[in-house]
Amino acid sequence: MNPPVTVRPAAAALSALLVLSPFAAAQTARPSPAVAADQPVTLPEFRVETNQDNSYLATETTSGTRTAAKLLDLPFSVQSLPSEFFNDFMLFDFDELNGFVSNVKPADAAGAGNGGSRLRGFGMPQFRNGFSIIQQPDSNNVDRVEVLKGPSAGVYGATAPGGVINFITKKPKARAESSLEVIGGDNHYKRVSGSTTGPITKNVFYRLDGTYYDFNRPTDWWYNRTLDLSGGLIYKFNANTSVNLEFAFTQRNANPFVVFTRWVDRSNRTQGLVYTIPEDQYPGYGERLTRFNQAGPYNRYQRYNNSSYLTFQHRFNQVWSVQANLSNTNRHFRRFGPTSLGNWSFVTNNWTGSRSPYHQEFVYEQDGAQVDFAGKFKTGGVVHQSHVGFDWIYLGQKQKTWNLTNAAAITALLPPGVTLAAWQKPSPFDPDFLVRAGQPTFVDTWPMVDGSTFNLYNEELGVFYNHMASFADERLVLMATGRADTYTIHRKQPLSTRATLRDATSDKKYTTYSVGLSYKLAGEKLVAYGSYGSSFDPNPSVDTNTGDVYGNTEATGGELGFKGVLLHGSFSYSAAAFTARQENETTSNPDNPGGTNPLLPALAPGGSTRSRGIGLDVSGKLTTNLSLIGNMGWLDARTVQNRAAPANVGQRVANSGPARKGSVAATYAFSGRLLKGLRAGLTYYYSTENVRIYSTSATTTTVYLPANSYWGGMMAYAWKVRGNKTLSLHLAVTDIFGQQILTDNAFWPAGAQWKLSTALRF
């Protein structure tokens, strides 16, 4: 049972607002502007108008302050990727999409949602409509993706110094719309998607989105089968008051076993990843070991995610509005399969480790509440935007791990004729053996692993105030944010023999801030901006000797840059130079190597990382027919303090991202009588090599992920068939020339993969 939660005033305040909503609806307030028939039915104070001309251009955001604000007024970088962009190129996995934002190292789509994206060298917390989430949503219900950069993302509470990613979901519309799409492609790709939205009555509007997809990859036995359903219902009391109920459900079964397999040469030196094995010295090994799935055909990941959200919006008068939210998420993650085999050794011509049956379960419960009071008013010649926000979020995580290592017990569960030695160390050149050998059936009487079996409960309560003031006919905009948080971490390790580990607690208080300004040097064409702020990111590690909780990192950083809108407002750009430093990172205790002395702490808060770089993002229309989105970035993230490993100081931080990365996507809409309805596009992605595992050992080499450079493309044709019905054919190809060398999780690349869709919209 979860420990009792005692701090819930924000939830109580929100409940009171929802109870009083009918009374609020009866208050007099200025009428809102008429809502366009194809626009979401929400208050404009909390809504960003989406582009209607497939231009990839965004001029407003809700991620910067949790209310609608002009991108040019914000003193930091925000990049928006609209659904039109990722649907054009069929980049349905956000781990692919992140590569089109500067200074982002995208996670690996081959990981089937395992995450791992990095922003400006640090972790990349995920949010859904401003709510922290533990599993990224599916793309079928996402209207746009907004990446807010820098530690000035303090309106969200616990965040990383690089920034956050915020998924903005689709909302019900006032006009009826429906669509059905069927996609087929390489690697047995199959996808069916549908959506419908519109009015039920004059005050009630709905939306439903659903998708199911199933596909493979060249890696042995890799598959991903996902069902995603989501929807929403809005009831408008009047033009100034509404209640919105949303839900999201995801079920995913996959076998994306991730292991960074290295190889040991005949001199017993551990080298890089197996794809680097020299073909002339060890013929046939490099590709076979890279394609080999150590877990075998019976490994499976199962994810179930249920989320629901309740949003209340009300405009009190011409100045003040309120938005209040409740959220609840239940997530179950199960992994059943063997442990990894380790590295491949040419000394023994076998694996350095051996498999054992393994089962793991995670159960998450996440609850949240937000209240945002926003006002816009004018005093003299100064325009003010004032915002008071309250947050409460609770996350409970229960983790259980079973591992069967008893040789006799494993042997008894294997099919006749299969030896334990062969099952534990299978030949990568006989993958059919793993099919024949089967997998021991899991039962909950298997032994449980102490260190990987624990419960973790986090609770955060925060309040912030944000104010923007525009001077000199809105040429100069000043912004300041102050925030206070209390954060409680409660960690339980039920199987531990140490009382301090069975129940460890940490209570922290944080005060964060951000300040910045933007100034229009040449109208909206050239805007100079700068900001500086702080952040905190609890990432708890419990000392195995003392039970103390470490890892509550804090950071500061800032950026200077230019942004603007060109070509008569159809094309935007943003260029920034940034720096950030994170302190209080957990390392091992240099005075107690390996934690062998139980009287001394095993861990120490003695680490620090510094990140700096330059980023450029562009989006919009270059001509009436040509739309473009792109980025370039340089990143340098290095260790500046590590008491336990002084040799790491000055080295690039492992897996922080490539030093240089860039990408571009462009589409052209043909005009003229014969070609009307035809569109075509290209993408290009480039990145230098990335340090994946840094090594200081004399017998082990540092592992690098290779540089990548590859093209993609699309072509689509749409025509009216009857009335308002539109039929389209759409072809998209990733890595057209098969140039990708290796994925970020060291999977064999999929190569030139095509997808062909037929869609009907009505």
Over residues 582-593, mean pLDDT: 90
pLDDT at 35: 44
601: its two tokens: 């702490």
Which range of residues forms the domain containing residue 165?
9-404+440-761
pLDDT at 39: 59
Q: Is the pLDDT of residue 606 over 50?
A: yes
Q: Please check whether residue 624 lies inside any domain of the structure.
A: yes
Q: Please check whether residue 131 lies inside any domain of the structure.
A: yes
Tell me the average pLDDT of the chain: 89
Query: For residues 52 and 37, what is the distance between their CA atoms, to the nearest angstrom?
Result: 12
Query: For residues 506 and 487, what is the distance between their CA atoms, to the nearest angstrom?
Result: 8
Query: For residues 757 and 494, what is the distance between their CA atoms, to the nearest angstrom?
Result: 51
Which SS3 state, helix, strand or coil, does residue 115 take? coil
Q: What pTM was estimated for this model as a whole?
A: 0.91
pLDDT at 13: 38
- CA 368 vs CA 4, 229, 343, 408, 638: distances in Å: 16, 21, 43, 48, 35
Which SS3 state, helix, strand or coil, does residue 81 take? strand
pLDDT at 5: 37
End-to-end CA distance of the chain: 49
Contact 122, 105 (CB under 8 A): no
67: its two tokens: 């209310």
Q: Please check whether residue 435 lies inside any domain of the structure.
A: no
Q: Is the pLDDT of residue 394 over 60?
A: yes
pLDDT at 54: 59
Contact 45, 374 (CB under 8 A): yes
Q: Is the pLDDT of residue 516 over 70?
A: yes
Q: Which carries the bigger pLDDT value, residue 378 or residue 451? A: 378
The domain total for the chain is 1
b/e map 160-176, b = 16+ CB within 10 Å: bbbbbbbbbbbbbbbee
Q: Say which DSSP state 182 is in.
A: E
Q: Please check whether residue 429 lies inside any domain of the structure.
A: no
Lowest mean pLDDT among 40-54, 232-246, 616-630: 40-54
Q: Say which DSSP state 98 is in.
A: G
Q: Please check whether residue 430 lies inside any domain of the structure.
A: no
Q: Could you report the per-residue pLDDT of 322-358, keeping only the tens digit for each?
A: 999 999 999 999 999 999 999 999 999 999 999 999 9
Over residues 215-225, mean pLDDT: 95
Q: Is the pLDDT of residue 44 over 60?
A: yes
Q: Say which DSSP state 449 is in.
A: P
Query: For residues 278 and 348, what is the distance between their CA atoms, to the nearest angstrom?
Result: 18
Q: Please check whether residue 427 lies inside any domain of the structure.
A: no
Query: For residues 478 and 484, what is the distance between their CA atoms, to the nearest angstrom?
Result: 21
Query: For residues 598 and 305, what is the distance between their CA atoms, to the nearest angstrom?
Result: 40
- CA 386 vs CA 153, 169, 476, 481: distances in Å: 17, 25, 16, 10
Query: For residues 31 and 239, what is the distance between their CA atoms, to the nearest angstrom?
Result: 6
Query: For residues 377 and 385, what is the distance between their CA atoms, to the nearest angstrom?
Result: 7
Q: Which carries the bigger pLDDT value, residue 44 or residue 312? A: 312
pLDDT grade for 219, boundaries at 50, 70 and 90: very high
136: its two tokens: 């990224």
Query: For residues 203 and 241, what is the distance between their CA atoms, to the nearest angstrom?
Result: 11
Q: Is the pLDDT of residue 307 over 50?
A: yes
User: What string of DSSP letters covers 242-301?
Assistant: EEEEEEEEEEEEE-------EEE-TTS-EEEEGGGS-TTTSTTHHHHHHH--TT-TT-EE
Q: Say which DSSP state 677 is in.
A: T
Contact 51, 84 (CB under 8 A): yes
630: its two tokens: 């792109």
pLDDT grade for 70, boundaries at 50, 70 and 90: confident
Q: Is the pLDDT of residue 411 over 90?
A: yes
Q: Which helix (H) or strand (E) holds 455?
A: strand 454-471
Query: For residues 9 and 415, what is the distance between their CA atoms, to the nearest angstrom?
Result: 58
pLDDT grade for 648, boundaries at 50, 70 and 90: confident
Over residues 175-198, mean pLDDT: 96
Q: Which helix (H) or strand (E) holds 145?
A: strand 142-149
Q: Could you report the per-residue pLDDT of 677-736, keeping only the tens digit for each?
A: 999 999 999 999 999 888 877 788 899 999 999 999 999 999 998 888 999 999 999 999
Contact 374, 320 (CB under 8 A): yes
pLDDT at 28: 35
Dihedral of CA atoms 329, 107, 358, 216 in degrees, nearest 10, equals: 100
Q: Is the pLDDT of residue 235 over 80?
A: yes
Contact 563, 571 (CB under 8 A): no
Query: For residues 665 and 56, what is the distance between their CA atoms, to the nearest angstrom?
Result: 10
Q: Please check whether residue 565 lies inside any domain of the structure.
A: yes
Q: Could you report the per-residue pLDDT of 433-490, keeping only the tens digit for each?
A: 999 999 999 999 999 988 889 999 999 999 999 999 999 999 999 999 999 999 999 9
Q: Is the pLDDT of residue 375 over 80?
A: yes
- CA 209 vs CA 310, 371, 550: distances in Å: 18, 27, 42
Kindly tell me the number of DSSP H helices and DSSP E strands found in the chain: 9, 38
Over residues 120-137, mean pLDDT: 90
pLDDT at 25: 35
Q: Which carries the bigger pLDDT value, residue 109 or residue 364? A: 364
Over residues 36-54, mean pLDDT: 63
Over residues 202-215, mean pLDDT: 96
The one-letter amino acid at 111: G
Q: Is the pLDDT of residue 614 over 50?
A: yes
Which SS3 state, helix, strand or coil, does residue 88 take? helix
Q: What is the CATH number of the domain that holds 305?
A: 2.40.170.20
Q: Which helix (H) or strand (E) holds 18?
A: helix 9-19
Q: Please check whether residue 494 lies inside any domain of the structure.
A: yes
pLDDT at 51: 57
